[in-house]
Chains A and B, each alone.
Chain A
Amino acid sequence: MTTATTAPAATTPATPSVGASHLRVEGRDKVTGAARYAADHPADGLAHGWIVLSTVARGRIRSVDDAPVRAMPGVLTVLHHGNAPRLKEDFAGTFGPDATTRILQHDRVPHAGWPVACVVAETPEQAREAAEALVVTYDTEPHDVTLRPGHPGSHPAETTAMGPGRTEKGDVEAELAASDIVVDAWYTTPEEHHNPMEPHAAMARWEDGRLEVVDSTQGAYATARDLAQLLGLDPADVRVRSEHVGGGFGSKAQARPHLVLAAMAATVLGRPVRIALTRRQTFSLIGHRSATVQRVRLGAGADGRLRALDHAALSATSTVHEFVEPSAAYARSMYDASGHRTVHRVLPLDVPTPTFMRAPGEAPGSFAVECALDELAERCGLDPIVLRARNEPAAGPVSGLPFAGHRLADCFTEGARRFGWAGRDPRPGVRRDGRWLLGTGTAASSFFTGAFPATATATAHADGAFTVRIAAADIGTGARTALTQLAADALDVAPDRVRVLIADSDFGDAWVAGGSMGTRSWGWAVRLAARDLRDRLASGAGIPPEGLTVRANTEEAVRSLAAYERHAYGAQFAEVAVDPGTGEIRVRRMLGVFAAGRIVNPLTARNQLTGGMVWGLSMALHEEAVRDTASGGLVNADLAGYHVAAHADVPAIEVAWLDDPDPDDPVGIKGIGEIGTVGSAAAVANAVWHATGVRHRDLPIRPDRVLAGGAAPVTAAPVTAAPVTAAPVTAAPVTAAPVTAASVTAAPVEQDRAGHR
């Protein structure tokens, strides 16, 4: 066939790139605007879709009066349940069956903001005006959007994304009864929304018999496979790309309505169709984190050693699909006790289907458990770090499996040193700086370490350059850069010789950017392919003009991983200032020390871990979607109303890590996508207690809640761990309103013991 060239690259060893900071390889494209996101791709004959959302929270569509709208300027079609192409009825995608995908397939309206029609027009403005003019009438039914314990509609969750719905060992009640100290407290977190910077968008078009899609997705391959199934197409006939994605946080891991409707419309019209969601639309179309109501009971001896741990978590789901926020799974690997029980209940409500959102389960679950431990430390008169050290599990508390590394205590030791924890006065409410009360808090952090099989190819070119292809996604994490570094080291070349192409479903199966498993799963496959290529070149293989390509799949390697408790760990610290007169809280500094596997790129790793901690701060003090019980819709579905931490809220954040490679993985990565968030809200909440002497168990800790709680007089009296009741506001009557699925306005007053477990 052709002349072969010996690769100069394979014989040129390079300084290892992994472990050295590397600027994002696509950074210049992003800051100069050259990088194209899903809504930026041009196409000849492009039409624009606009999704019409239901204004009622429950009922049936009586009519869609599309005739007047079809006569409006530029309108090409109006899709609704009466005319839309049929989707596969028993769809079971990457994350299992999910009837939330049944868009425009029936007349049922399961929540406010459900897609009931899609108007397609020549321009986005025409589509939007026509969509807003479309008259849809409904037969409404009474709705319920209020999450509350004891609701007769709730039921035990059989399973969650993080394992079984329930685990139990020993006799929790007997151990509680035999405990010297019992903490029994309720914690609530509100409905939270992902809010990536880039709202979801997709463009779909038919090209040479294939459906070509650009989507803002965390997993091009999974999205292509799921979309093909939904539309009844051969998977080979669907291609999805997502070269640049402006954040996802779990909301872009599945085929969302904008994508399905763009594909439908492109099929119906035979034209390219783009649908870009508004920020407001993302609040009902892309999933969210359910509010949670959690009860934690801890029983311990006077020495703080746990005898009982009971964590019961209630969350909401929609009426079309059950997604359980797996909050109670957190303690299954973190803390052992003779009586150990973790239970989930779930309540279907007339709300959108919740989904994975940054550290699903771990974020709200760690808030409850790590705050309860802080309360236990206070009651035992123990330093919170000492308490945690006394409760290090020898093996998986539920699984019984050994740990594949457990450096939590080391994280606390290093964190305490850096933070200046030694000599901390444990008394709450005694430090002042002018008007401000000061306090410090800490919490543990953990995230499971997993991997999914992936396929990668590595190609050597005759000019000494290399191309790596894998259907990975870089949602802002720096994955593309990390994979470039990993590939360069595996090839023994400098990173500038390696080009990594990602986010194209044609590159083969690869896990989504999710579960903190993206870079680990992809990096493993990239390394296998690159090593194989290097070895072939070293053994004298020639490079044909089209390049020499090898393909690797990690299916076997990943499946043969031995069963261990595999986790990353961290220690979170926060110092806060609280103004008891205005209720304002300012976080003054945060520190996170992590043992989270091999760190590939310190620059982007620091960015990810810091970002996770900011999300924890944001969860502790700001984030809260507020649902109107009367209409069932949100009253703050924009970034003016749904607060995330602003720059001014974010203090100096220090991040450090310990050497902690995973020995069973040739790359040694454990994943750092979510661990920064875990425990950080608890550290802030614990610091607020240390500042004020008042336990705030309901997030976010807003100024009005601080004012309602006041600042406790400094006494030696133990703080009660009784269920939180609605504290009176001095100037106005406050009624204990029921907890809505969005806004946990007051903690449950009545404990429904039978109903909640």
Chain B
Amino acid sequence: MREFRYHRAAATADAVALLAADPEARPLGGGTNLVDLMKTGAERPALLVDLRDLPLDRIETTADGGLRVGATVTNSDLAAHPEVRRRYPMLTQAVLAGASGQLRNMATVGGNLLQRTRCGYFTAGATEAAPCNKRAPGSGCAAVAGEHRNHAVLGASAHCVAVHPSDMAVALAALDAVVTYETADGPGELPLTAFYRPVGDTPHQETALPPGALVTGVVLPPAPPGASRYRKVRDRASYAFAIGSLAAALDVRDGVVREARLAFGAVASHPWRARRAEQALTGGPADAAAFAAAADAELAAARPLPHNGYKLPLLRDLVVDVLTALTEEAAA
């Protein structure tokens, strides 16, 4: 474990300046992922900039009726916030589906977005011999020919097939959330669906954030119309990463889909907004056959590996089941 410096930032500008000055600096939220990775050597920061004293721990309503969520809001506080529960129930469900109560009490919104993959070849760190292009760029990807039961079926490359582990981010992708950040040159923002970079041949470059940028929060536009839900499937009933998940919102009137929002989790290096499925659904009938066809339209691009093809029927089943339930909810 590398010896590191620790600084508790007093102001956002202070944190931004430190992060900009040292490429080996990392922001510290709850530490629930970063500290684990420091122990295995997968992360070796020289400086930790603790964000806990920054005024980024608030949830406020925006002028257009959305919500602004600070980067250091804990996962527990986000899930429990009355306006989140009322207006964005899928977000509460997604956050509560992740980790454990203790971890959610520590973990922050910014940290959740920036958490690293749990691919075993990555997390094992420098003490394991297997290559990993995220950990050691250019060393190769052991998962492609190795253990990849819970790896990507969409959007992966030969350089990396890891999946993003967040549940929260899947709901945020479906909700058209926007990530705000601060740099030494001023503030900026990225839609969540553009926040994560495509894998390509640089899987270690995970986000589109400028160097040294500090994530300051997430802005949620007004909730989409209709009912919404987050459904997660995992190897055990609790405290496990998804093997497939779905965030869905569906607006059905008179048996016709007016608007659909779908995002898949545990299928790609980032939350997978299922726009092809949304297009297939919009204006069509709200029935099981149409839901299945929409799932198939999205999954047509899937390139499963030898041991993760089960995710395709699993996701198809989730789409049909969740959209059917949302349709029934709308009718009731």
Using a CB–CB distance below 8 Å, which chain A residues touch chain B?
A: 53, 55-57, 73, 112, 125, 128-129, 132, 278, 280, 435, 581-584, 586, 621-622, 626, 628-638, 640-641, 643, 645-649, 702-704, 707-708, 729-735, 737, 743, 745
Contacts and interface: CB of A to CB of B under 8 A. Distances in A.
A621 B236 contact: yes
Given A622-B236, A635-B120, A648-B237, A132 B126 contact: yes
B118 A641 contact: yes
Contacts of A643: 235-236, 240
B146 A629 contact: yes
A389 to B, nearest CB: 35
B128 A631 contact: yes
Contacts of B321: 435, 581
Interface in B229-282: 233, 235-241, 243-244
A735 B308 CA distance: 11
Contacts of B3: 73, 125, 129
Interface string B1-28: 1110000000000000000000000000
Given A630-B145, A636-B120, A648 B306 contact: no
Contacts of B313: 707, 729-731
B314 A583 contact: yes
Give the size range of B's interface with the partner.
35 or more
Contacts of A55: 127-129
B129 A729 contact: no
Contacts of B142: 628, 630-631
Contacts of B305: 732
Contacts of B304: 731-732
Interface string B304-320: 11111111111001100
B309 A731 contact: yes
A513 B147 CA distance: 36
A732 B309 contact: yes
Nearest to A650: B237
B93 interface: no
Residue from A56, A73, A582 with most neighbouring chain B CB atoms (10 Å):
A582
B302 interface: yes
Contact of B310 (A112, A647, A729): A729
B302 to A, nearest CB: 7
5 contacts: A129-B1, A630-B145, A640-B123, A648-B239, A729-B310
Contact of B306 (A641, A707, A708, A735): A735
Contacts of B244: 582
B130 interface: yes
Contacts of B41: 132
B238 A648 contact: yes
A645 B236 contact: yes
Contacts of B123: 638, 640-641
Given A125-B3, A582-B314, A641-B123, 8 more contacts: A55-B127, A280-B40, A435-B321, A586-B237, A633-B128, A641-B120, A647-B238, A703-B235
Nearest to A746: B307
B149 interface: yes
Nearest to A626: B147
A357 B235 CA distance: 23
Residue of B39, B120, B243, B312 with highest tally of chain A CB at under 10 A = B120
B310 A731 contact: yes
Given A56-B129, A129-B3, A621-B236, A633 B145 contact: no
A647 to B, nearest CB: 7
A452 B236 CA distance: 39
Interface string B109-127: 0000000001011011011
Contact of A631 (B129, B302, B309, B312): B129
Top 7 A-B pairs ranked by shortest CB distance? A732-B309, A635-B120, A731-B312, A648-B238, A581-B317, A732-B304, A648-B237
Nearest to B320: A581
Nearest to B40: A280
B102 to A, nearest CB: 12
Contact of A648 (B146, B236, B299, B310): B236
Contacts of B312: 730-732
Contacts of B130: 628, 630-631, 633, 635
A278 to B, nearest CB: 7
A733 B309 CA distance: 7
Contact of B233 (A73, A638, A703, A734): A703
B118 A633 contact: no
A424 B239 CA distance: 34
Nearest to A641: B120
A426 B305 CA distance: 38
B198 to A, nearest CB: 22
Nearest to A55: B129
Nearest to B130: A631
Contacts of A732: 304-306, 308-310, 312
A544 to B, nearest CB: 54
A129 B40 CA distance: 11
Contact of B318 (A280, A582, A633, A647): A582
Interface in B123-147: 123-124, 126-130, 142, 145-147
Contacts of A645: 236
Contacts of A737: 306-307
A734 B306 CA distance: 5
Contacts of B124: 280, 633, 635, 637
Contacts of B308: 704, 732
Residue of B41, B307, B321 with most chain A CB atoms under a 10 A cut-off = B307
A620 to B, nearest CB: 12
Contacts of B235: 622, 643, 702-703
A637 B129 CA distance: 14
A584 B118 CA distance: 21
Nearest to A628: B146
A732 B267 CA distance: 14
B162 to A, nearest CB: 12
Contact of A129 (B2, B127, B145, B307): B2
A132 B125 CA distance: 11
A24 to B, nearest CB: 24
Contact of A704 (B128, B129, B149): B149
Contacts of B236: 621-622, 643, 645-646, 648-649
B118 A646 contact: no
B145 A132 contact: no
Contacts of A635: 120-121, 124, 130, 146-147
Nearest to A133: B2
Q: Most chain-B CB neighbours within 10 Å: which of A621, A629, A633, A647?
A: A633
A704 B129 CA distance: 28
A729 B304 CA distance: 11
A638 B120 CA distance: 9
B118 A640 contact: yes
A372 B67 CA distance: 58
Contacts of B129: 55-57, 112, 631-633
Contacts of A628: 120-121, 130, 142, 146-147
Interface string B163-177: 000000000000000
A731 B295 CA distance: 13
Identify the interface centre among B1, B2, B318: most chain A CB within 10 Å of its CB. B1
Contact of A708 (B40, B128, B145, B310): B310
Contacts of A734: 306-307, 309
Contacts of B127: 53, 55, 132, 280
